[in-house]
Structure 1
């Protein structure tokens, strides 16, 4: 398995099996990101997460690779693995119906 496939697979597994908490969606999202070592302003990260969903819904990003590229450009100091973790977390938190794009990306690797 190539490294990119491993990262994607780990992001999917972590996203699907993440335990929900009882806080609001933005707080849950921030806590999940902190688990990946992704910090920054909570509201900014939530905005980027919601925007990731909107870009997929509106066809601006056509797949998870496009979404990860968008996130990577908008997160200071993040690497490719964190961009994928962010995308998986954003989809899980804000638009779980879009999680299929992660599965599709895993099949393309």
Structure 2
């Protein structure tokens, strides 16, 4: 299930690429709403940016650790699938250099801890 989702998220930039003039945080909120993930726009954008920072500095070694961090900081009603959707969208919009961590993770078929 996760391997298919990861493949879809990597293809998403082709079909869901934000316009050059659009506000990235607004685009992120809109995309999250499509997944049924709600919450304060600024908080969700901040959380995605912190996730990128954690990957950049090595605090989270991989996507599974990032998903665990997000799971603990998103609303309790967020499902495991939505955590991965949040992570994929956040990486794609805020730190695409880390998208490879999702690809590497997909081969292990790891679930959210």
**TM-score normalized with structure 2 length:** 0.85
Contact conserved, 1:72 with 1:80, CA < 8 A, in 2?
A: yes
Alignment of 1:1-109 (within 5 A): 3-14=1-12, 17-21=15-19, 22-76=21-75, 77-109=77-109
Partners of 2:36 and 2:47 lie apart in 1 by: 16
Unaligned stretches of 5+ in structure 2? none
After TM superposition, the score normalised by the length of structure 1 is 0.88
What is the Cα-based RMSD across aligned positions, in Å? 1.6
Equivalent pair of 2:18/2:24 in contact (CA under 8 Å): no
Secondary structure at the aligned position of 2:16 is classed as coil
Please report how far the alpha carbon of residue 20 of structure 1 lies from its aligned counterpart in structure 2 after TM superposition: 1.6
Runs of 5+ unmatched residues, structure 1: none
Q: Does structure 2 retain, via aligned residues, the 8 Å contact 1:33–1:39? A: yes
Corresponding residue pairs, total: 107
CA distance in 1, matches of 2:17, 2:2: 25
